[in-house]
Amino acid sequence: MKKGKAFFVVSARRLGKSQTLMALTGGITARRFAIEGARFVVRRMSNDVDDEGFFDLLDNTYPDSAPHVILAMRPTFKDDRRRKPLVAALNAFGQRYEMFFFVLGRQETHPGKLLPKHQIEPLKALGVLQVFNRSVEGESRARAFKKFIVSNM
């Protein structure tokens, strides 16, 4: 079976995941969305909001029915209780999907607040990583995320 492609918008809590995805989809809360002719399943609620739903999607999504996926994710690598299930789920998901991580490194409203390196480093072993450190509004982040997606299609 050919692997699918999964694109994650990654940030700490309240660092712009939702606004980035909302801008990417043109202000609508679509669960399916097209970019350059490719249909994407979009999972807006990250693991910091809905652990169960996030892990359910990772466990039950397959490339034959959803070849392209966009997900919001919070890197919970600091705490063993949250890190171990996340790493296990991502490793299993990575057997079916190539993974691409677009990390929002700065908060829009507090530009001095950065995502710690220990939350970013583990992603390097799981897939392609790009850290976006510009402090800009959701529209600009969405354009950069879309460019990242298109360049990795």
For residues 127 and 33, what is the distance between their CA atoms, to the nearest angstrom? 23
For the entire predicted model, the pTM comes to: 0.86
- The CA radius of gyration of the chain, in Å to the nearest whole number, is 14
Both tokens of 59, joined, read: 């466990």
Residue 8 pLDDT greater than 80, yes or no:
yes
Domain that holds residue 89: 4-151
pLDDT the model gives residue 29 = 73
pLDDT winner (highest mean) among 15-19, 70-74, 111-115: 70-74
In the block, which residue shows the tokens 């677009």? 102
Domain at 85, CATH number: 3.40.50
Both tokens of 140, joined, read: 């600009």
pLDDT the model gives residue 87 = 83
Question: Domain count of the chain?
Answer: 1
Q: CA-CA-CA-CA torsion for 67, 122, 82, 65, nearest 10 degrees?
A: 0
pLDDT tens digits, one per residue of 18-31:
777 777 777 777 68
